[in-house]
Structure 1
Amino acid sequence: MECGGCTPRQPWDLSFSAKPAEVAALRRVLRIHLGLWGLAELTETAQLCLSELVSNVITHVGPGTPTTLAVSISGTNLRIEVHDPDTRALPRLTDSTVDAEAGRGMALVAAMSERWGVQLLPDRKITWVELASGLTERNGHSEDVRVSRATSCLHLYNTGLPNHLQGSSRLSAIAAEEVAIDVIADLLHWLRAHGHDADDALDRAQMQFEADTRRLAR
């Protein structure tokens, strides 16, 4: 089931000079984007993979190398790519000992990711890694029973929308918000009609929502 009210996850890229001082800024940019995409739970792993890929360029291609970070959704995986102009220095896994100082970066990436690889093009190489996101669809939500139930409810309400607000298979973002408000209002009417305190129920729902949000943000 698609979710038209979800944040569109459009691919983006950022050019930078491969220097140790740039890594912290790149990690911050990635964290912000993952938050906007509703994938904050991937931040730590994604940042570690990004740091390793950029460090690999700095170490094996050279400090100051013109490099590009590209981030997208591949299927339902988060895909992180680092592009650099050297097609000879290829990252690879090594059988490093525990005490080895080098060769462990890509092993760490491989252990944390769904898959990784290197693509060679005439003018550059692309080292990429994909992380499982928990998404059920590209622009959907991560699997959450509350969100899934709400999405089903919104689609049921969608049948009563005017034709110009109904999408072929999804709600538009604006229509989804209006329908969600109608659902909440109808539930409050139902509670009052059955002798319950609608205001108290709304306050309790808000408290539960805030508690769940804090828990998920940890």
Structure 2
Amino acid sequence: MPILKKEVEAAPAGHPTYSEVFPCVPSTAEAGRRLVRGVLGMWHLDALADRAELIVTELIANASRHTPCPVIRLVVGRPSETRVRVGIVDEEPSRLPELSHAGEEDESGRGLLLVEAVADCWGCDLQIARGRLRGKEVWAELQTGSTE
């Protein structure tokens, strides 16, 4: 999983990026799923909705469980014509995501394993603004299967 340091910058022209701030609580997953499904519908990419909803559910669960942040930002974008990226941005750069290996009896600890299983790739980018570390974005990408 790559962890990159990059300046926060505007997305290049092309498909818009949709973003909304939500409370960092597990119940946010329902609103996150609606946003992702709606955006994918606008892009005529409904076939990706189930996988994207699972991803956003797991990323929100991880943020609410492993960070003390009061809010998170859900981002849905198109880094290219053939990829969709779903990400969760929080202000806790010191808590980086890790794949865990839950035991058979464990009730949690499989979220990133699910993300890895359904996404084409995933990772974490540290967010730097004005020379200071401001947070991180944990993201996953899905191939669209089209070249529009």
From the superposition, tell whether residues 98 and 19 of structure 1 become closer, same or farther in structure 2 (CA, over 3 Å). same
State the Cα RMSD in Å: 1.5
Count matched residues. Answer: 129
Q: Are 1:11 and 2:22 counterparts?
A: no
Q: Are 1:131 and 2:142 counterparts?
A: yes
Distance 1:111 1:65 in 2: 29
| 8 Å contact kept, 2:67–2:92 | yes
* AA matched with 1:19: V
User: What 5-or-longer segments of structure 2 have no aligned partner?
Assistant: 1-13, 128-132
Deviations 1:34-64 (A, max 9, x none): 11100001111000000100110100013x6
Aligned to 2:73: 68
Structure 2 length-normalised TM: 0.81
| 8 Å contact kept, 1:77–1:133 | yes
Distance 1:92 1:38 in 2: 33
Q: Are 1:118 and 2:129 counterparts?
A: no
Distance 2:84 2:106 in 1: 30
Identity of aligned residues (%): 32
Higher relative contact order (CA 8 A, sep 6+): 2
Q: Are 1:21 and 2:27 counterparts?
A: yes
* AA matched with 2:92: D
| 8 Å contact kept, 2:18–2:75 | yes
Higher helix share: 1
1:9 CA displacement = 3.1
Higher strand share: 2
Distance 1:29 1:61 in 2: 22
What secondary structure sits across from 1:130 in the alignment?
strand
Structure 1 length-normalised TM: 0.56
